[in-house]
Amino acid sequence: MTQLGFYFNQTRCIGCHTCAVACKDWHDHQEATLNWMQINTIEKGVFPHLFLAFIAVPCYHCEDPSCMAVCPADAISKRAADGIVIVDPDKCLGREGCEKTPCLTACRSKSPQFGPAPDAKMQKCDFCLDRLEEGKQPICVEACPMFALEIYSMENLQQKYGEQKEAEGFRYSKKIRQAAVFTPKPEVFS
Amino acid sequence: MGQTDKDIKIVNTGCCHDCGGRCVLKAHVKDGQVIRIESDTGEDPQIRACMRGRAYRQRLYSPDRLQTPLKRIGEKGEGKFKPISWEEALTEIAAKMHQVKATHGNASILMVASGGNQGMLHGALPVGAMLQGFGGFTRSWGIASYEGAMYASMATYGTIRTGNSREDLLNSKLVIMWGWNPAVTIWDPGTSLMMSRIREKGIRIVAIDPRYSDSAATFADQWIPIRPGTDSAMLIAMAYVILDEQLQDQAFIDLHTVGLDKYKDYLFGKEDGVHKTPQWAETITGVSADVIATLAREYASSKPAALIAGWSPARASFGEQYSRAANVLTAITGNVGVNGGYASGFMRAYSSRETNHKRVIAGKDSEKARSTGNPVEDGAPPRQYALHKLFGGTNPNSARIHNAKVFDAILRGKEGGYPADIKMAYIVASNCLNQHPNTRRGAKALKALEFMVVHEQFMTPTAKFADIVLPVNTFMERNDIAPPWLGSPYYIYLNKAVDSLHASKSDLDICRELSTKLDISPGMFQFAEDDILQGITASRDDIPDYEAMKRDGVVKIKLKEPIVSFKEQIEDPENNVFPTLSGKIEIYCEHLAEMNDPKVPPIPKYMPHEESHDAALSKSYPLQLITSHDKKRAHSTWHNVPWCHDIEPHSVWLNSLDATNRGIVDQGSVDVFNDRGRLRIPAKVTERIMPGVVDIRQGAWYAPDEEGVDHGGCANVLTKDEPSPGGAHPMNSALVQIEPTPEGAGRKK
């Protein structure tokens, strides 16, 4: 099985949110609660010795996804062909129908999300399956003005960018094995 | 639903508001609706849109879009309007304009026009043409973004074309980003990407900024925080070190500049007894003398080096002096006209707009240069402090009112020394109440007008004061051309993607219809949109094929080599002069010297003012306010777009020291105030701004309560409306105080 993964060049990211808004536009997420791509800011230090980094947080399509493990309805699965973690809306019990919505707490990246409607089904980043099927990169990748993102097979990404599994604001877990490769920003203070 | 959906048509258009870019957008249109947006997927260099362009559907289809012409029924500023028909609106406007013209003359009609909704055709252009045809109008001058930098560029180089292609920075050994934050302000698409490539190549980058900006944090090896308004002092001290230690490029100076001796008299104390040493600058700037001297030596010895002097430090009282000091520093180190160097100045690189730099000989052609065909201003003498002997800068006509003084001019008219008594304002593509300094004076002024028309897409703080508001369409609903912003060689053709929403119309069509009621000769209005756009294209030899541009949506011009401004002058000075009066780079500017006024010294100087960090007023208002750009907006445009707005709350940045002293907590509600006004927003307590400085990003919409406290966080409630002689707006020269509100103070317990 090929595992698709996410590459993020943290040294390039200017925190412009273009990837996040492009994602909302492509998937037509008018709701403020839906952010398949999130941007977190890491600020450290005391004036004038500072460190600032941004981290782009899509779904990292873990090899052993914690959301999948806790779902009471078996609504979350991993595609055999590419490892993309998907939700079956017919099986998902919905925001109010599911007693504990354990997927929300299981995922450290807050990737599983619900719209505001009581019967909203869980949804999350799917690496733009519709675009991948047409041979295009996901919209976040195509949108990034800094050419800092890429989505490809983990094998390919590791060959191209090395095997760095962590970055500022992101910790790798051996248990869930997030499918991501980074060029992390070195923690150098101004 | 994939892209291959046969019902989807992809329309090539582009994003065109008043930011530092013009970017490719591809609108996916289905059943007459834009259903999503892509950006440039074509050949390199791709012109990728930022978050703002990507969010455009929420602006286009906003429930707040103005749908019909509106007539005010409430008090001015209250925002109560009733819908009326186009016929009724235009008939009333025409009747009122005829009346104002007959009673008070054409000069009493003021056009306020900005770049808020513009292309090469739509926006202010048709309104100006219409008002000119009506017998003329009073117009304004002084662009908030760059007027100080432009004046300094003209005084030093005689031109605003002083920039280099961005890729030429790869030839630099050192890049200094001075008050320059392209990660947010774009500064031509691709600039931030190029800054990353420069960093990745191992070229050293230094950022000078009171804030640890996104650009400083991402690109720079060194960050030098500096007190706002003191940049010229640091640049002057750098010149002192370079000349004192003989690090200057004397051959370059001898061949290409005039007046270094006069500058030396100032630097070395001959003029005023003060040596402009790094120690002198340290007390002013808050930057240590060592850091100043080290950067000076590094800049002079890392040839070629690029000093990019951003416009924002020039958006200050005497902001011209900062730009002049930067320009002069590039010259004395020989970094002008060479690959990898940078002349600073206004920094336009590619342009087909002003290819002929003519020197205008005093008293002969200067009247011609001022002539605009506007009967109200033709024949008016040059205004005081204008560089009227030079061609290509700001029009020096004295019948114009500086943008920062428009409100005062409305209130005081000829008695206050202004060229006209203003009775009516015609406002297009401008949220001037919000974006000109001193908003509360603005509100008074707009209330004093007899009649006010606004072309708008939304009910902005400005539009609320109008008598008639006309709904204007967006670039998605019309055809237009976007020129390069400042330096990149391309044009974007903005194909109309969908029909005009609601009853909105283009600026061109509004003026076309209104002109017939104004009984004026049709002029440009006899032509269709496409004819005019073809005409614009035909006058440029860098757009070879109009139809191809329209089809492809973009023309990327391939340059044989990167643009390096003044390369000809440096390589072949015999045959190429600088377009200044002396034909050389003017360290000492004779044109300024003739004015014989200490407010416009012929050499760059550090000039404190009544709202400097150490002025008497700082006892009551000890914090310096800067009003930076926000990545979520282009000035006040996009303020009301949720996808942008939701990214982070609008807040005032202040350092933790200033917060702790005042009992202010992060996200706690605070009042920011001075004698001009008071606003109430959350605080962002951060280490990313130097102590003593606070930042409110300009562009948030003014929303006063009954006591006049602004809850919208409009920075210009606090800014002063006294421009510098050269026209620099003083948006970054305001002293303020901050205190927690009762509610905000309560939060800390």
Residue A184: asked if its preceding bond is cis (omega within 30°), the reply is no
Query: What average pLDDT does this structure show over B664-685?
Result: 98
According to the model, what pLDDT value does residue B487 have?
A: 80
Closest residue in B to A24 (Cα) is B643
What is the per-residue pLDDT for B365? 55
Low-confidence stretches of chain A (pLDDT < 70) are none
Distance between A54 CA and the closest CA of chain B, angstroms? 10
Query: Is there a domain that residue B558 lies in?
Result: no
Instruction: List pLDDT tens digits, range B309-346.
Output: 999 999 999 999 999 999 999 999 999 999 999 999 99
Q: For an interface test with A, which of B48, B194, B195, B227 has the most A Cβ atoms less than 10 Å from its Cβ?
A: B48
- How far B214 CA sits from the closest chain A CA (Å)? 6
| Banded pLDDT at B359 (limits 50, 70, 90) | very low
Q: According to the model, what pLDDT value does residue B367 have?
A: 60
Verify whether the Cβ–Cβ distance A145 to B222 is below 8 Å: no
Rounded Cα gap, residues A112 and A121, in angstroms: 10
Residue B655 has pLDDT above 90, yes or no: yes
Q: What is the pLDDT of residue B743?
A: 78
Coil, strand or helix at B370:
helix
* SS3 (DSSP) at B695: strand
Distance CA B466, CA B443 (A): 11
Q: Does residue B442 sit in the same domain as residue B585?
A: no
Range of the domain at B186: 147-351+563-595
CB distance A139–B643 less than 8 Å? no
Residues of A in contact with B190 (CB under 8 A): 145
| CA separation for the pair B637, B633 (Å, rounded) | 6
DSSP string for B492-518: EEE---SPPPTT-B-HHHHHHHHHHHT
Residues B175 and B296 reside in one and the same domain: yes
- A43 to chain B: which residues are within 8 Å by CB? 686-688
H runs (alpha helix) in B365-431: 366-370, 406-412
Name the pLDDT band for B352 (thresholds 50, 70, 90): low
Say yes or no for a CB contact (<8 Å) between A190 and B223.
yes
> In this predicted structure, what is the pLDDT of residue B720?
97
Angle between helix axes B231-244 and B260-267 (nearest 10 degrees) is 100
Residue spans of alpha helices (H) in B203-318: 214-219, 231-244, 250-256, 260-267, 278-285, 289-301
B157 and B305 assigned to the same domain: yes
How many interface pairs between A and B have CB atoms less than 8 angstroms apart? 124
**CATH number of the domain that B140 lies in?**
3.40.50.740
Structure pTM? 0.97
Smallest CA–CA separation between B380 and chain A, in Å?
Answer: 47
Measured distance CA(B591)–CA(B17) in Å, rounded: 35
Neighbouring C-beta atoms of residue B98, cutoff 10 Å: 14
Give tens-digit pLDDT for B567-616.
999 999 999 999 999 999 999 999 999 999 999 999 999 999 999 999 99
Cβ separation A50–B212 shorter than 8 A: yes
Do residue B139 and residue B151 come from a single domain?
no
Same domain, B240 and B298: yes
- The pLDDT of residue B4: 57
Q: How far apart are the first and last CA of chain B?
A: 53
Which of A10, A12, A14 to probe by mutation at the B interface, max B CB count within 10 Å?
A14
B573 or B539: which leads in pLDDT:
B573
- Band of residue B234 on the pLDDT scale cut at 50, 70, 90: very high
Q: Looking at residue B6, what is its pLDDT?
A: 82
pLDDT of residue B82: 98
Q: Which CATH architecture fits A4-183?
A: 2-Layer Sandwich (3.30)
Same domain, B201 and B329: yes
* Cβ(B347)–Cβ(B323) below 8 Å: no
A13, A22, A43: residue with CB nearest B687? A43
Contact residues on chain B for A42, CB-CB shorter than 8 A: none
Q: What CATH number has the domain bearing residue B185?
A: 3.40.228.10
Which chain B residues have a beta carbon less than 8 Å from that of A21?
51, 54-55, 643-644
Whether pLDDT at B358 is above 70: no
Distance CA B168, CA B191 (A): 11
* Same domain as B331, residue B249: yes
- Domain check: are B591 and B622 in the same one? no
Q: Please check the confidence at residue B363 and state whether its pLDDT lies above 80.
A: no
- Residue B493 confidence class, pLDDT cut points 50, 70, 90: very high
Strands B174-178 and B204-208, how do they pair? parallel
- The total domain count for chain B is 3
Mean pLDDT of chain B: 95
Q: Does B487 reside within a domain? A: no
